[in-house]
Amino acid sequence: MADGSIGLWTVPLAVLGGAIRVSTPFLFVSLGECITERSGRINLGLEGTLVMGAMSAYGISYLTGSPWLGVLAAGITGALLGALHAGICSLPRVNDVAVGIALMLFGTGLAFYLGKPLIEPTAPRLPAIDFGWWSDIPQVRAALRVNVLFLIGVALAPILYWAFRTTRWGLLLRTAGESSDAARAMGHSVLLIRLRATMVGGFLAGIGGSFLSLFYPGSWNEGLSSGQGITAVALVIFARWDPLLCLWASLAFGGAAALGPALQSVGVTSGYHLFNAAPYILTLAIMIITCSPKRTLTGAPAELSITR
């Protein structure tokens, strides 16, 4: 054990490390989408937002030398894309699901276009906090190298849970999501509430993207995100629009996504691509188990088009 070879223990350790590392983008996108969907609108474009966030974070970090400015830029980019989504959706008779698909293609295309010159250079990455200092085993230390963004995300989940229930802002958001008529009767603009909710959602999704390019995997290329954004949107549905459940689901997903690389590192290479698809298969499986055609899902915002 002392020489660092820990045999098959590598797999659960890598899955644990993956649950911490890989889950962060899932966590941010799902929390962002949770806010948007609670206001009664669905933004399928977060896949594009994630990629745009990753690209702009990498670009700004490279140009300014500060990865934290990159994170901020990613958030702002995400908020702008969110504003675009909300703006188009506030036109009469425009379907929010279709706009989401359009922005998914637009965001991805724009990121590939603007990110072309960023594939070569290396940008400064985000620092990590070493929680594994007590261990001599390198794999344990590697698994416990935690990024600050992960901690922020973990803290954000209970804060959102609390905010949805008790703050004025949370109540307004939920009113818009449950009954737009009620919100209107109270004298609030539903469109404005949804605009803000979509922008905050986009901001968080953009930050999730910055984690991809600035920490793990930690580079910019066109294959950076393949479906993490859309998986996170699906994750919100089976987390029943509950931020705390989003946190647990994201951790489970991170672990599932780390399974392929972990098995590869101990020499199991045959099913590599299938194991890489584990998060998608898991999402589909959980959706099949938890959804039902008979009733609307508990906790679903009544105004949400996708659950009607």
User: 305: part of which helix (H) or strand (E)?
Assistant: none
Rounded least distance, CB 47 to other proteins, Å: 9
Compare residues 95 and 189 and give the one whose CB is closer to other proteins: 95
Rounded least distance, CB 252 to other proteins, Å: 16
DSSP letters spanning 76-88: HHHHHHHHHHHHH
**Residue 261 near other proteins by CB under 8 A:** no
**Residue 92 near other proteins by CB under 8 A:** yes
**Residue 58 near other proteins by CB under 8 A:** no
Stretch that binds other proteins, among 4-12, 99-107, 174-182, 207-215 (CB under 8 A): 99-107
**Residue 63 near other proteins by CB under 8 A:** no
Rounded least distance, CB 190 to other proteins, Å: 17
Please, which of residues 28-47 interact with other proteins by CB under 8 A?
44
**Residue 142 near other proteins by CB under 8 A:** no
**Residue 223 near other proteins by CB under 8 A:** no
Nearest to 282 by CA among 242, 245, 249: 249
Please identify which residue in 230, 239, 257, 259 interacts with other proteins, judged by CB under 8 A. Answer: 230
Structure tokens at 302: 């009544």
**Residue 103 near other proteins by CB under 8 A:** yes
**Residue 9 near other proteins by CB under 8 A:** no
In the DSSP assignment, the letter for residue 129 is E
Q: Is the dihedral of CA 236, 241, 247, 248 positive or negative?
A: negative
**Residue 287 near other proteins by CB under 8 A:** yes
Please identify which residue in 6, 98, 159, 244 interacts with other proteins, judged by CB under 8 A. Answer: 98
Compare residues 102 and 148 and give the one whose CB is closer to other proteins: 102
CB of 50 within 8 A of CB of 155?
no
80 class by beta-carbon count within 10 Å (0-12 exposed, 13-18 middle, 19+ buried)? middle
Tell me the number of residues near other proteins by CB under 8 A. 49
Please identify which residue in 158, 284, 299, 302 interacts with other proteins, judged by CB under 8 A. Answer: 284
**Residue 281 near other proteins by CB under 8 A:** yes
DSSP letters spanning 224-242: S-SSHHHHHHHHHHHTTT-
Stretch that binds other proteins, among 29-37, 66-74, 176-184, 269-277 (CB under 8 A): 269-277
CB of 208 within 8 A of CB of 28?
yes
Please identify which residue in 8, 93, 134, 298 interacts with other proteins, judged by CB under 8 A. Answer: 93
Compare residues 210 and 231 and give the one whose CB is closer to other proteins: 231
**Residue 79 near other proteins by CB under 8 A:** no
Which residue pairs, CB below 8 angstroms and at least 24 apart, start in 221-228? 221/119, 222/112, 222/115, 222/119, 224/51, 224/54, 225/25, 225/47, 225/50, 225/51, 225/54, 227/47, 227/279, 227/280, 228/25, 228/26, 228/29, 228/47, 228/50, 228/279
**Residue 91 near other proteins by CB under 8 A:** yes
Mark out the alpha helices in the chain (DSSP H runs).
10-21, 23-38, 46-64, 67-89, 96-115, 138-143, 148-166, 168-178, 180-185, 190-214, 228-238, 243-265, 272-276, 278-290
130 forms bridges with which residues in the sheet?
145
Residues within the interface to other proteins (CB under 8 A)? 44, 84, 88, 91-95, 97-99, 101-103, 105-110, 112-113, 116, 226-227, 230-231, 233-234, 237, 270-274, 276-277, 280-281, 283-284, 287-288, 291-294, 306-307
